[in-house]
């Protein structure tokens, strides 16, 4: 399979924004503004056929052909009918890659226009993303072709999760949600109609990208089945790929076709393929984020036995239920020696069994005793620590303690904390230190199951 080099698109030394404008209502204005705001430090050019010397202080030309150097990335934000010609100029100027954010192609029946676009991209061997997409974002290189202002769509921090998304709407909302999560972004690639660069090319690139630890993706349809299988087989042996596939039902499938002209195909067939090649399957947007979080921050478990440590009995019960429902996980039991050691260290009212209910007055010291025991118990493979910050003993000292325990723990540890402001404050603190925190028993336990499943696919090495 021929590999497209997307490095000039994601790490460009020079960018030309075709359609950059002074008019704040124009897409090209917002894109240029975002580049300026993000502090992109490469060479930036505005291209506008009615151009003056500069737009918002950025050197401006009438055509990309007027730029002296060969541009790494051309961002195209002009009406659809002018796109093929603009791309032709990009090609002639020696531009290495292009991102076409403009819509108005195959998704509304203009297949001819889209074919013209592909012809130009192929003629110049110029990887071209889109059309009808949000483009790319890379917080490391500060590349951001999104035409959505930052006050509406918060941008995530730097991290290890790459997000590949066919839909601009799903892309922008999930990106916005990631900005509130503890994990950070490696690359965001919204590929829209997938006319030239498609999911196969993107996965092929991300497979060898050292900054990408986990890939999450939303797809509506896969065009090149054979090549997809080839890349799927390889990438999941190197890094986890979480996939949310639209078109699970007849209703969704028809809607997907109308949206990106994707032939959604049989969901069952896709699901079987995803499973066979070790993809982690998400059922909803929230799964995408929940699974990314645990895969980004936890090592593989050695088995399926989960210890629950809690300061709230009922939440422990609900989590035990959630474990029962997964079928793949099971509730751990303490080894006799560990149990008797805990018996000596914990207050008499604490019942030494799993879920271990440390009681509503548990503080950081009591959690430390419990988690140290869990660490040295070979009958336990993973740990779910439930911390209800409404209780008297749960405070920032406990949150900090959990972070430090995670760092020296030899098995996956995640936290479940449910609540409003006071809880959110501590969740943020723990997550930014690399400890994944979940908001519901189901989300926490399903994420442990996803981690186990992928670990098994990889032979739990």
- Does 441 interact with its own copies (rule: CB under 8 A)? yes
Contacts of 408 (CB under 8 A, 6+ apart): 375
Pairing relationship of beta strands 43-47 and 14-18 according to DSSP bridges: parallel
Considering only CA atoms, which of 164, 224, 234 is closest in space to residue 196? 224
Footprint (CB under 8 A) of its own copies, residues 220-249: 220, 244, 246-249
Considering only CA atoms, which of 154, 181, 160, 147 is closest in space to residue 26? 147
- Does 347 interact with its own copies (rule: CB under 8 A)? no
Q: How far is the CB of 82 from its own copies (least distance, A)?
A: 17
Q: How far is the CB of 217 from its own copies (least distance, A)?
A: 12
Residue with tokens 């100027």: 93
Q: How far is the CB of 61 from its own copies (least distance, A)?
A: 27
Q: Lay out the site mask for its own copies across 167-206 (x = CB under 8 A, - = otherwise).
A: xxxxxxxx-xx-xx--------------------------
Q: How far is the CB of 322 from its own copies (least distance, A)?
A: 8
Footprint (CB under 8 A) of its own copies, residues 360-379: 360
- Does 313 interact with its own copies (rule: CB under 8 A)? yes
Considering only CA atoms, which of 313, 329, 303 is closest in space to residue 442? 329
Kindly tell me the number of DSSP H helices and DSSP E strands found in the chain. Answer: 16, 20
Cβ(95)–Cβ(126) under 8 Å? yes
The gap from C-alpha 146 to its chain's centroid, in whole angstroms, comes to 16
Footprint (CB under 8 A) of its own copies, residues 249-288: 249-252, 254-256, 258-260, 283-286
Residue 131 phi, psi (nearest 5): -75, -175
- Does 418 interact with its own copies (rule: CB under 8 A)? yes
Pairing relationship of beta strands 97-100 and 43-47 according to DSSP bridges: unpaired
Q: How far is the CB of 349 from its own copies (least distance, A)?
A: 6
| Shorter beta-carbon distance to its own copies: residue 172 or 204 | 172
Q: Lay out the site mask for its own copies across 377-406 (x = CB under 8 A, - = otherwise).
A: -----------xxxxx--------------
Tell me, by CB under 8 A, how many residues bind its own copies: 80
* Interacting span for its own copies (CB under 8 A) from 12-20, 290-298, 439-447, 452-460: 439-447
Q: Return the residue of 316, 342, 382, 411 that touches its own copies, per CB under 8 A.
A: 316
Contacts of 8 (CB under 8 A, 6+ apart): 72, 73, 96, 97
């Amino acid at each position: 399979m021929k590999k497209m080099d997307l490095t000039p698109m994601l790490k460009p030394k020079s960018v030309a924004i075709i359609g950059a404008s002074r008019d704040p209502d124009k897409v090209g204005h917002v894109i240029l503004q975002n580049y300026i705001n993000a502090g992109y430090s490469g060479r930036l050019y505005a291209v506008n056929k009615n151009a003056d010397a500069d737009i918002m202080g950025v050197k401006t030309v009438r055509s990309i052909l007027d730029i002296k150097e060969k541009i790494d990335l051309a961002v195209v934000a002009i009406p659809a009918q002018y796109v093929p010609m603009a791309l032709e100029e990009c090609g002639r100027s020696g531009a290495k890659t292009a991102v076409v954010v403009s819509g108005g192609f195959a998704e509304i029946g203009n297949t001819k226009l889209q074919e013209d676009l592909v012809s130009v991209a192929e003629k110049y061997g110029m990887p071209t993303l889109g059309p009808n997409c949000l483009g790319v974002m890379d917080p490391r290189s500060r590349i951001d072709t999104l035409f959505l202002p930052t006050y509406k769509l918060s941008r995530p921090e730097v991290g290890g999760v790459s997000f590949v998304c066919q839909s601009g709407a799903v892309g922008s909302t999930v990106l916005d949600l990631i900005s509130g999560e503890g994990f950070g972004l490696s690359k965001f690639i919204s590929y829209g109609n997938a006319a030239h660069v498609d999911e196969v090319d993107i996965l092929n690139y991300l497979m060898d990208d050292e900054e990408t630890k986990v890939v999450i993706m939303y797809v509506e349809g896969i065009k090149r089945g054979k090549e997809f299988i080839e890349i799927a087989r390889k990438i999941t042996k190197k890094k986890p790929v979480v996939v949310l596939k639209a078109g699970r039902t007849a209703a969704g499938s028809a809607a997907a076709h109308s949206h990106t002209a994707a032939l959604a195909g049989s969901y069952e067939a896709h699901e079987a393929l995803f499973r066979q090649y070790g993809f982690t399957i998400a059922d909803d947007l929230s799964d995408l984020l929940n699974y990314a979080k645990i895969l980004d921050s936890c090592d593989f478990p050695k088995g399926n036995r989960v210890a629950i440590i809690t300061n709230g009995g009922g939440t422990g019960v609900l989590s035990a239920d959630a474990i029962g429902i997964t079928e793949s996980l099971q509730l751990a039991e303490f080894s006799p020696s560990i149990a008797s050691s805990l018996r000596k260290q914990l207050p008499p009212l604490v019942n030494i069994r799993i879920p271990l209910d440390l009681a509503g007055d548990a503080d950081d010291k009591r959690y430390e005793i419990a988690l140290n025991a869990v660490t040295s118990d070979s009958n336990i493979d993973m740990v779910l620590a439930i911390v209800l910050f409404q209780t008297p003993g749960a405070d920032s000292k406990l949150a900090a303690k959990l972070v430090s325990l995670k760092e020296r723990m030899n098995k996956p540890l995640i936290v479940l904390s449910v609540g409003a402001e006071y809880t959110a404050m501590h969740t943020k603190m723990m997550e930014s230190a690399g400890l994944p925190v979940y908001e519901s028993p189901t989300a926490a336990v399903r994420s442990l199951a996803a981690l186990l499943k992928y670990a098994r696919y990889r032979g739990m090495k």
